[in-house]
Structure 1
Amino acid sequence: QVYNTCAKQIVKDVLGGYNGTIFAYGQTSSGKTHTMEGNLHDPQAMGIMPRIAQDIFEHIFAMDENLEFHIKVSYFEIYMEKIRDLLDVTKNNLSVHEDKHRVPYVKGCSERFVTSPEEVMDVIDEG
Structure 2
Amino acid sequence: MFEECVAPLVDGLFQGYNATVLAYGQTGSGKTYTMGTGFKDGFQTGIIPQVMNVLFSKIGTLKHQIDFQLHVSFIEILKEEVRDLLDPSSVSKPETANGHSGKMTTPGKPPIQIRETSNGVITLAGSTEVSVTTLKEMAACLEQGSLSRATGSTNMNNQSRLTIHFSSLL
TM-score (norm 1): 0.85
What is the identity, as a one-letter code, of the residue corresponding to 2:77?
I
The residue that corresponds to 2:3 in the other structure is 4
What is the identity, as a one-letter code, of the residue corresponding to 2:48?
M
The residue that corresponds to 2:134 in the other structure is 116
What is the alpha-carbon distance in structure 1 between the residues aligned to residue 13 and residue 77 of structure 2? 22
Change (3 A) 1:124 1:98: same
Q: Which entry has the higher C-alpha Rg, 1 or 2?
A: 2
Q: Compute the displacement of 1:9 (Å).
A: 1.0
Change (3 A) 1:64 1:86: closer
Q: For residues 6-35 of structure 1, what are the alpha-carbon distances to aligned partners after superposition, in whole Å with 9 as ceiling and x for unaligned?
A: 211111111211111011001123221111
TM-score (norm 2): 0.65
Moved over 6 A (4+): none
Larger % of helix: which? 1
Taking the TM superposition and a 5 Å limit, the aligned residue runs for 1:15-94 are 15-37=14-36, 39=39, 42=43, 46-88=45-87, 89=90, 90=105, 93-94=111-112
Q: Compute the displacement of 1:76 (Å).
A: 0.5
Structure 2: runs of 5+ lacking an equivalent: 91-104, 146-170
Aligned alpha-carbon RMSD (Å): 2.1
The residue that corresponds to 2:159 in the other structure is none
1:104 aligns with 2:122: yes
Name which of 141, 144, 158 aligns with 1:126.
144
Worse-superposed segment, 110-119 or 32-41: 32-41
Q: Compute the displacement of 1:66 (Å).
A: 4.7
What is the identity, as a one-letter code, of the residue corresponding to 2:121?
V
Structure 1: runs of 5+ lacking an equivalent: none
Larger % of strand: which? 2
| Equivalent pairs, count | 124
Change (3 A) 1:47 1:92: farther
What is the alpha-carbon distance in structure 1 between the residues aligned to residue 124 and residue 12 of structure 2? 21
Change (3 A) 1:57 1:99: same
**Amino-acid identity (%):** 35
Give secondary structure in 2 for the equivalent of 1:33: helix
Preserved CA contact (<8 Å) 2:70 2:131: yes
What is the alpha-carbon distance in structure 1 between the residues aligned to residue 27 and residue 6 of structure 2? 22
